[in-house]
Amino acid sequence: MLIEIRKKALTIESVYSDGGPAVETPLLSAVAYAVVKNPFAGKYEPNLIDFMKALRSVGLDLATQLAQTLGKDAVEAYGKAAIVGVNGEAEHGAVWHEAGGWAMREVLGNPKAMVPASQVTASAGFRLIMPLHYIHASYVRSHFNSIEVGAVDSPRPDELLFALGMATGGRLHSRLGGLLKEEVSAHDGQR
């Protein structure tokens, strides 16, 4: 199945302080997205598997771009998001769960933690908050974070915006306890 991409973008955020003392090395968070034509906009399609599989190439491209931008070994947090144009349905965005999640795991050496996600059906210009968390264990509280996703002109009614996000660490001034990344021991993606 051919994936028609109208545009792609990459944004990087560098945070030096979040109310506490400035840090020497900023927290880097980045989002890469692709706006693609929704081949099923306005109609019901019972089989979305081929579309989901074809989107793996888009996921691999975005994940590779993020890992190269931030440095693969520096990535500690990840997430994914989808904005479905108003002529689509939620399931059209849900195809990104497998395609985007698989791609990030493939590029980052197969971390075990689930990839958190958000999705919505909305008009062009909608801003969605993508959750991020630690790549090796879902319960590392310091890495529960988020980053904004969206584009002024996207998605158009018959489009989908698929996004991946990565970050080089957790919240800058995390001090709320919980499981620390240094304490991760089970290597099952949970604790």
Which portions of the chain are predicted below pLDDT 70?
none
pLDDT in tens, 110-140: 999 999 999 999 999 999 999 999 999 999 9
What pLDDT does residue 151 have? 97
Let me know the angle formed at the C-alpha of 132 by 138 and 68, rounded to the nearest 5 degrees. Answer: 110
Return the SS3 of 100. helix
- Tokens found for residue 115: 């990839």
- Which pLDDT value is given to residue 95? 98
**Residue 147: what residue type?**
I
Return the structure tokens found at 158.
């018959």
Looking at the DSSP bridge assignments, the partners of residue 79 are 165
- The half-sphere exposure of 36 on its side-chain side, counting CA atoms within 13 A, is 25
For residue 144, give the 3-state DSSP assignment: coil
- Cα–Cα distance, 165 to 110 (Å, whole number): 16
Q: Report pLDDT for 30.
A: 98
Q: Cα separation of 170 and 44, whole Å?
A: 40
